[in-house]
Amino acid sequence: MINLLLCDDHRMVREGLKQILADAGDIDVIGECADGAEVLRQARVLPIDVVLLDIAIPVHDGLEVLQRLKKEMPRLPVLILSTYPEKQYAARCYRLGASGYLNKSVDSDQLIIAIRKAAEGGMYVSASMAEALATSLGQHATRLPHETLSQREYQVFKALASGTCVKDIADQLGLSPNTVSTYRSRILEKTGASNDVGIAMYAVKHQLITP
């Protein structure tokens, strides 16, 4: 059996996924959670073979959780399952150590295949992403401005694009306002935006947030 930890902040989504996975016969959901902090807590104590993780979760977003999991448990496979477009998020997730990136529109057979492949130590890449990833992960690939942001810069970028003020971002990330302001300056420079509204417009244009 493959012991799986499931994280999605919508209970109905979790219930639907559990039913799909139960029908597989060899996948056992031994833990489920609705936020990033709970993922980290359960991953440290449960005998997990694979984590199935959404990006848009509260407390710690999926990208931060992925990064922390791979730092603490580098051999633990993490699959990302998200509504965000593959072309915008998959490359970043793979760079952070994900074993696969799937859109929530994926059919159940492919989801099960991805989980089994991750549990065996492999990497799942959908046919639609293979060529794009080969280009975006290439040494000489031309990268979009937001793809050059560090993980911490990207967290600040997403928060600014969503309208969160510097002080609140500092509180959420455990940073000083001055540090967040420094990240903001780097983000403005890298994206070419002139202010927070410009950051938000950039994020919407590239489908990084929902308008």
Give the class (CATH, top level) of 145-205. Answer: mainly alpha
pTM for the structure as a whole: 0.70
- Residues paired with residue 6 on neighbouring β-strands, in sequence order: 32, 52
Where in the chain is CATH 1.10.10.10? 145-205
**Scanning the structure block, which residue is given the tokens 């994926």?**
106
**Which residue intervals of 46-173 are DSSP H helices?**
62-72, 86-95, 108-119, 127-136, 151-161, 166-173
Digits of tens for pLDDT over the chain (211 positions)? 999 999 999 999 999 999 999 999 999 999 999 999 999 999 999 999 999 999 888 888 888 899 999 999 999 999 999 887 776 778 788 888 999 999 888 899 999 999 999 999 999 987 777 766 666 555 445 678 888 888 889 889 989 999 999 999 999 888 899 999 999 999 999 999 989 999 999 988 888 876 6
Where in the chain is CATH 3.40.50.2300? 2-136
Give the class (CATH, top level) of 2-136. Answer: alpha beta
